[in-house]
């Protein structure tokens, strides 16, 4: 038996009140979003019982040395543009000591399977397990990946420079994303994950825009964690960048290329995991207490793409990954990301989405990934 319409209306209203904090200033974005500038101390994180008396760490005690995203290769490349921004910036900025939060609408909640599940990934193992001796079924939970990865050490941070595309999504309940995963624990019920990148998700956002996102969980997507600021957890300090807001501009296959840079690292003094977007925006941090394994270190880092294949009409989805082209088609214009030496590569169905590693003096280690989904070789 489902909840009565009255009970559902009440639950929706209550949840919207919890998510949409009182705003100091409001900005209407050209894409239809409303961005609320909320005082930094009133953000959703502080609804968490463990954060009631938390002193906000306004800046990290440590920043990884020598990690500057403006590599010489990119400075010298006429294929790169550095004017990445968010669409709402065209209509204003948030004042100091506030953070921009994308306002959640009633329609957003009603698209979710339940108010409680809004902003959360569906439970189930959806992290690719490239080194598993017992490979997963090809389409477990309908999630497919094309990734590069490193494992076998303790990791205290990762970075990604990722081309930004606007892949086509076939069904509203599907998504396409490009991200990095910082993982700790086994791939069982205790998995810890910190994730950041861009995604196109009609279900979550109500449109097909390419948007900046983060995610975290400390129990394999069961009861903890969420996208962006849709639950208590991530503490934002930046007044410039809104989680879940549209990224603008995006790359075109035969035209200009645009990328975003993401850096996530562990503060050695306080143990919090920090995130930086581009060269200038230190966004905020995931407090160490949210995690078990990641309270110490990560045991695996993954970079790459993920799509949901809901197999419409019993066939593979035509939802694209990255540019929607295979790596071998045109290396300059497929989804590309930089990575460390010693990377492995993994994909469940290389005839639908593929990944290829590369190495050169300008970029060091990098890889290409992407694909069109359904096609002659991917029925």
Q: For residue range 238-247, list pLDDT tens digits in order.
A: 999 999 999 9
Say what the pLDDT of residue 136 is: 44
Instruction: Show Cβ contacts of residue 249 under 8 Å, excluding neighbours closer than 6 positions.
Output: 81, 83, 84, 256, 258
Rounded Cα distance between 101 and 37, Å, is 6
Say what the pLDDT of residue 133 is: 38
Say what the pLDDT of residue 126 is: 63
CA 376 to chain centre: 30
Taking residues 318-332, report their average pLDDT. 85
Stretch among 101-110, 112-121, 322-331 having the lowest mean pLDDT: 322-331
- The residues that are catalytic are 195, 306
**pTM of the complete model beyond 0.85:** yes
Alpha helices in 212-273 (DSSP H): none
> Between 96 and 137, where is the model more confident?
96
Q: How confident is the model at residue 209 (pLDDT cuts 50, 70, 90)?
A: very high
Query: Phi and psi dihedrals of 247, rounded to 5?
Result: -95, 135
Instruction: Classify 289 as helix, strand or coil.
Output: helix
Q: How confident is the model at residue 324 (pLDDT cuts 50, 70, 90)?
A: very high
Strands (E), 218-320: 226-227, 235-236, 247-248, 257-266, 273-277, 281-286, 298-308
> Nearest CA to 372 among 315, 320, 327?
320
Instruction: Classify 18 as helix, strand or coil.
Output: helix
Say what the pLDDT of residue 179 is: 96
Q: Evaluate if residue 212 carries a pLDDT over 70.
A: yes
> Nearest CA to 109 among 99, 119, 100?
119
Instruction: Classify 72 as helix, strand or coil.
Output: helix
**Tens digits of per-residue pLDDT, 160-186?**
999 999 999 999 999 999 999 999 998
Q: Give the count of beta carbons closer than 10 Å to the beta carbon of residue 25.
A: 14
Rounded Cα distance between 352 and 356, Å, is 14
Structural tokens at position 109? 């909640």
Length of the chain: 379
Half-sphere exposure (CA, 13 Å, Cβ side) for 236? 31
Q: What is the 8-class DSSP label of residue 378?
A: B
Alpha helices in the chain (DSSP H): 5-19, 72-75, 106-111, 202-205
Rounded Cα distance between 367 and 337, Å, is 6
Taking residues 271-281, report their average pLDDT. 94
**Tens digits of per-residue pLDDT, 121-156?**
876 556 777 765 344 444 457 899 999 999 999 999
Cα separations in angstroms, 130 against 146, 147, 347: 10, 9, 8
Share of the chain above pLDDT 70, in %: 87
CA 363 to chain centre: 23
């Amino acid at each position: 038996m489902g909840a009565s319409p009255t009970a559902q209306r009440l639950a929706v209203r209550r949840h919207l009140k919890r998510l949409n904090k009182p705003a100091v200033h409001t900005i209407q974005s050209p894409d239809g979003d409303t961005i609320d500038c909320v005082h930094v101390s009133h953000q959703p994180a502080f609804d968490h019982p463990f954060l009631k008396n938390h002193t906000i760490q306004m800046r990290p005690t440590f920043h990884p040395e020598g990690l500057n995203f403006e590599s010489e290769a990119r400075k010298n490349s006429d294929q790169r543009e550095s004017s990445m921004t968010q669409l709402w910036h065209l209509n204003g900025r948030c004042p100091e000591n506030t953070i921009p939060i994308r306002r959640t609408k009633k329609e957003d909640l009603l698209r979710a399977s339940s108010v409680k599940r809004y902003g959360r990934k569906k439970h189930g193992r959806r992290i690719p397990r490239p080194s598993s001796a017992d490979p997963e079924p090809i389409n477990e939970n309908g999630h497919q990946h094309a990734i590069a990865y490193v494992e076998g050490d303790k990791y205290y941070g990762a970075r990604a420079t990722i081309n930004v595309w606007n892949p086509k999504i076939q069904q509203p309940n599907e998504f396409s994303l490009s991200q990095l995963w910082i993982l700790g624990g086994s791939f069982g019920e205790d998995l810890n994950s910190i994730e950041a990148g861009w995604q196109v998700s009609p279900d979550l956002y109500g449109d097909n825009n390419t948007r900046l996102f983060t995610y975290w969980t400390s129990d394999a997507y069961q009861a903890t964690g969420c996208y962006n600021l849709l639950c208590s957890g991530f503490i934002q300090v930046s007044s410039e960048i809104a989680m879940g807001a549209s990224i603008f501009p995006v790359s075109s296959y035969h035209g200009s290329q645009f990328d975003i840079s993401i850096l996530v690292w562990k503060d050695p003094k306080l143990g919090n995991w920090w995130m930086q977007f581009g060269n200038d925006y230190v966004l905020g941090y995931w407090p160490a207490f949210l995690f078990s394994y990641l309270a110490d270190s990560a045991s695996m880092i993954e970079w790459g793409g993920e799509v949901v294949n809901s197999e419409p009409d019993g066939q593979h989805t035509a939802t694209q990954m990255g540019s929607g082209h295979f790596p071998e088609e045109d290396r300059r214009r497929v989804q590309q990301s930089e990575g460390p030496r010693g990377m492995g590569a993994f994909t469940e169905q290389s005839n639908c989405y593929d990944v290829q590693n590369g190495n050169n003096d300008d970029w060091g280690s990098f890889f290409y990934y992407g694909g069109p989904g359904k096609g002659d070789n991917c029925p």
